[in-house]
A and B are shown apart, each in its own frame.
Chain A
Amino acid sequence: MSLWIDGLSWVCLVAGGAFCVVGATGMLRMPDFYTRMHAASVIDTLGAGLLLLGLMLQAGWTLVAVKLLMIAALIFIASPTATHALARAAMHRGLKPLLADEEGRPSKP
Protein backbone atom coordinates (compact mmCIF):
# COMPACT_ATOMS: atom_id res chain seq x y z
CA MET A 1 0.00 0.00 0.00
CA SER A 2 1.36 3.39 -0.87
CA LEU A 3 2.28 5.74 1.93
CA TRP A 4 -0.19 8.40 0.80
CA ILE A 5 -3.21 6.10 1.00
CA ASP A 6 -2.06 4.85 4.39
CA GLY A 7 -1.63 8.37 5.74
CA LEU A 8 -5.00 9.49 4.41
CA SER A 9 -6.65 6.46 5.98
CA TRP A 10 -4.94 7.25 9.29
CA VAL A 11 -6.20 10.84 9.19
CA CYS A 12 -9.74 9.66 8.38
CA LEU A 13 -9.78 7.10 11.20
CA VAL A 14 -8.48 9.52 13.83
CA ALA A 15 -10.81 12.33 12.70
CA GLY A 16 -13.78 9.94 12.72
CA GLY A 17 -12.95 8.79 16.22
CA ALA A 18 -12.57 12.40 17.36
CA PHE A 19 -15.95 13.35 15.89
CA CYS A 20 -17.54 10.36 17.64
CA VAL A 21 -16.16 11.51 21.00
CA VAL A 22 -17.28 15.11 20.29
CA GLY A 23 -20.80 13.96 19.45
CA ALA A 24 -21.00 11.81 22.57
CA THR A 25 -19.80 14.71 24.71
CA GLY A 26 -22.51 16.85 23.17
CA MET A 27 -25.09 14.18 23.93
CA LEU A 28 -23.98 14.24 27.54
CA ARG A 29 -23.79 18.01 28.03
CA MET A 30 -26.56 19.56 25.90
CA PRO A 31 -29.47 20.93 27.95
CA ASP A 32 -32.48 19.60 26.05
CA PHE A 33 -33.65 16.48 24.24
CA TYR A 34 -33.79 18.15 20.82
CA THR A 35 -30.33 19.67 21.15
CA ARG A 36 -29.00 16.30 22.28
CA MET A 37 -30.51 14.78 19.14
CA HIS A 38 -28.58 17.37 17.13
CA ALA A 39 -25.35 16.35 18.86
CA ALA A 40 -26.02 12.68 18.21
CA SER A 41 -26.32 13.31 14.47
CA VAL A 42 -22.60 14.20 14.43
CA ILE A 43 -21.81 10.57 15.28
CA ASP A 44 -24.10 9.27 12.53
CA THR A 45 -22.76 11.51 9.75
CA LEU A 46 -19.19 12.69 10.24
CA GLY A 47 -18.04 10.07 12.73
CA ALA A 48 -19.39 7.03 10.91
CA GLY A 49 -18.61 8.45 7.46
CA LEU A 50 -14.97 9.24 8.19
CA LEU A 51 -14.37 5.97 10.05
CA LEU A 52 -15.86 3.88 7.23
CA LEU A 53 -13.94 5.91 4.63
CA GLY A 54 -10.70 5.23 6.50
CA LEU A 55 -11.46 1.51 6.68
CA MET A 56 -12.36 1.50 2.98
CA LEU A 57 -9.00 3.07 2.11
CA GLN A 58 -7.31 0.29 4.10
CA ALA A 59 -9.31 -2.43 2.35
CA GLY A 60 -8.62 -1.33 -1.23
CA TRP A 61 -10.72 -2.68 -4.12
CA THR A 62 -11.97 -5.85 -2.43
CA LEU A 63 -15.20 -7.41 -1.22
CA VAL A 64 -14.47 -5.92 2.20
CA ALA A 65 -14.78 -2.43 0.72
CA VAL A 66 -18.17 -3.37 -0.78
CA LYS A 67 -19.37 -4.57 2.61
CA LEU A 68 -18.17 -1.33 4.21
CA LEU A 69 -20.07 0.58 1.53
CA MET A 70 -23.19 -1.43 2.42
CA ILE A 71 -22.76 -0.53 6.10
CA ALA A 72 -22.35 3.14 5.14
CA ALA A 73 -25.50 3.06 3.00
CA LEU A 74 -27.39 1.39 5.83
CA ILE A 75 -26.31 4.05 8.33
CA PHE A 76 -27.03 6.93 5.94
CA ILE A 77 -30.55 5.66 5.18
CA ALA A 78 -31.61 4.22 8.53
CA SER A 79 -30.19 6.77 10.92
CA PRO A 80 -32.05 9.88 9.62
CA THR A 81 -35.22 7.78 9.48
CA ALA A 82 -34.83 6.77 13.10
CA THR A 83 -34.02 10.34 14.15
CA HIS A 84 -37.06 11.69 12.28
CA ALA A 85 -39.32 9.10 13.89
CA LEU A 86 -37.82 9.94 17.28
CA ALA A 87 -38.47 13.67 16.88
CA ARG A 88 -42.03 13.06 15.69
CA ALA A 89 -42.72 10.70 18.58
CA ALA A 90 -41.35 13.22 21.07
CA MET A 91 -43.44 16.06 19.59
CA HIS A 92 -46.50 13.81 19.52
CA ARG A 93 -46.00 13.04 23.19
CA GLY A 94 -45.87 16.79 23.94
CA LEU A 95 -42.19 17.22 24.77
CA LYS A 96 -41.52 20.95 24.36
CA PRO A 97 -38.26 22.26 22.89
CA LEU A 98 -36.14 24.49 25.12
CA LEU A 99 -36.58 28.04 23.78
CA ALA A 100 -35.02 31.36 24.73
CA ASP A 101 -37.27 34.04 26.21
CA GLU A 102 -37.27 37.73 25.18
CA GLU A 103 -34.10 38.64 27.10
CA GLY A 104 -32.20 35.87 25.35
CA ARG A 105 -31.76 33.79 28.48
CA PRO A 106 -32.78 30.16 28.09
CA SER A 107 -36.09 29.45 29.78
CA LYS A 108 -36.51 26.70 32.30
CA PRO A 109 -37.37 23.34 30.75
Chain B
Amino acid sequence: MFAAAALALLVTLVLTLVRAALGPTVFDRVQAANTIGTVAMLLLAVLGFLDGRPEFLDLAIVYGLLNVIGTIAVLKYFRHGDLGDAGESEEAVR
Protein backbone atom coordinates (compact mmCIF):
# COMPACT_ATOMS: atom_id res chain seq x y z
CA MET B 1 0.00 0.00 0.00
CA PHE B 2 2.93 2.34 0.58
CA ALA B 3 4.04 1.62 -2.97
CA ALA B 4 0.59 2.70 -4.26
CA ALA B 5 0.75 5.95 -2.27
CA ALA B 6 4.30 6.60 -3.48
CA LEU B 7 3.23 5.96 -7.08
CA ALA B 8 0.30 8.40 -6.74
CA LEU B 9 2.65 11.01 -5.31
CA LEU B 10 5.09 10.49 -8.20
CA VAL B 11 2.25 11.01 -10.71
CA THR B 12 1.32 14.18 -8.82
CA LEU B 13 4.91 15.38 -9.05
CA VAL B 14 5.02 14.80 -12.81
CA LEU B 15 1.73 16.68 -13.43
CA THR B 16 2.88 19.57 -11.24
CA LEU B 17 6.22 19.69 -13.04
CA VAL B 18 4.38 20.02 -16.35
CA ARG B 19 2.46 22.99 -14.91
CA ALA B 20 5.72 24.54 -13.68
CA ALA B 21 7.21 24.17 -17.16
CA LEU B 22 4.08 25.46 -18.98
CA GLY B 23 2.88 28.10 -16.49
CA PRO B 24 2.20 31.35 -18.35
CA THR B 25 2.83 33.63 -15.38
CA VAL B 26 5.57 33.51 -12.79
CA PHE B 27 2.95 32.94 -10.08
CA ASP B 28 1.94 29.66 -11.68
CA ARG B 29 5.53 28.53 -11.43
CA VAL B 30 5.82 29.63 -7.80
CA GLN B 31 2.57 27.83 -6.98
CA ALA B 32 3.82 24.70 -8.73
CA ALA B 33 7.12 24.88 -6.84
CA ASN B 34 5.25 25.22 -3.55
CA THR B 35 3.09 22.19 -4.37
CA ILE B 36 6.17 20.22 -5.43
CA GLY B 37 7.65 20.99 -2.01
CA THR B 38 4.54 19.73 -0.21
CA VAL B 39 4.40 16.58 -2.32
CA ALA B 40 8.11 15.98 -1.75
CA MET B 41 7.53 16.16 2.01
CA LEU B 42 4.77 13.56 1.74
CA LEU B 43 6.91 11.41 -0.56
CA LEU B 44 9.78 11.49 1.96
CA ALA B 45 7.43 10.39 4.73
CA VAL B 46 5.97 7.56 2.62
CA LEU B 47 9.46 6.46 1.51
CA GLY B 48 10.51 6.23 5.16
CA PHE B 49 7.68 3.78 5.78
CA LEU B 50 8.36 1.95 2.51
CA ASP B 51 11.98 1.29 3.47
CA GLY B 52 11.29 0.85 7.18
CA ARG B 53 13.57 3.79 7.95
CA PRO B 54 11.62 6.41 9.96
CA GLU B 55 14.64 8.77 9.99
CA PHE B 56 13.29 10.09 6.69
CA LEU B 57 10.62 11.96 8.65
CA ASP B 58 13.27 14.36 10.01
CA LEU B 59 14.30 15.12 6.43
CA ALA B 60 10.64 15.79 5.60
CA ILE B 61 10.31 18.29 8.47
CA VAL B 62 13.47 20.17 7.41
CA TYR B 63 12.33 20.16 3.79
CA GLY B 64 8.99 21.66 4.76
CA LEU B 65 10.58 24.44 6.80
CA LEU B 66 12.91 25.32 3.90
CA ASN B 67 10.00 25.16 1.46
CA VAL B 68 7.81 27.73 3.23
CA ILE B 69 10.71 30.13 3.76
CA GLY B 70 11.73 29.80 0.12
CA THR B 71 8.19 30.42 -1.14
CA ILE B 72 7.69 33.52 1.00
CA ALA B 73 11.09 34.92 0.02
CA VAL B 74 10.48 34.41 -3.70
CA LEU B 75 7.01 35.97 -3.44
CA LYS B 76 8.34 38.99 -1.61
CA TYR B 77 10.93 39.42 -4.33
CA PHE B 78 8.38 39.20 -7.14
CA ARG B 79 5.94 41.51 -5.38
CA HIS B 80 8.26 44.32 -4.35
CA GLY B 81 11.33 43.67 -6.49
CA ASP B 82 13.43 43.82 -3.32
CA LEU B 83 13.98 41.28 -0.56
CA GLY B 84 14.67 43.96 2.07
CA ASP B 85 11.43 45.86 1.40
CA ALA B 86 9.50 46.74 4.53
CA GLY B 87 6.16 46.04 2.84
CA GLU B 88 3.19 48.34 3.17
CA SER B 89 0.39 48.79 5.65
CA GLU B 90 -2.99 47.09 5.23
CA GLU B 91 -4.71 50.32 4.16
CA ALA B 92 -2.26 51.08 1.40
CA VAL B 93 -3.12 47.85 -0.41
CA ARG B 94 -6.80 48.66 -0.70
Decide yes or no whether A108 CB sits under 8 A from chain B.
no
B31 touches A40 (CB 8 A): yes
Residues of B contacting A71 in the complex (Cβ-Cβ under 8 angstroms): 41, 45, 57, 60-61, 64
A74-B11 contact given A89-B27, A89-B79, CB 8 Å threshold: no
Total residues of chain A contacting the partner, CB 8 A: 48
Q: Which residues of A contact B (CB under 8 A)?
A: 9-10, 13-14, 16-18, 20-21, 23-25, 27-28, 33, 36-37, 40, 43-44, 47-48, 51-52, 54-55, 58-59, 64, 67-68, 70-71, 74-75, 78-79, 81-83, 85-86, 88-90, 92-93, 95
**Residue in A closest to B7 when the chains form the complex, CB atoms:** A17
Task: Count A/B pairs, Cβ under 8 Å.
Answer: 144
A67 touches B78 (CB 8 A): no
Q: A13-B2, A36-B31, A67-B58 are in contact. Are A85 and B38 (CB under 8 A)?
A: no
Partner of A14, one of B4, B19, B34, B67: B4
What is the CB-to-nearest-CB distance from B63 to chain A, in angstroms, rounded to a whole number? 10
A55, A74, A82: which contacts B65 (Cβ < 8 A)? A74
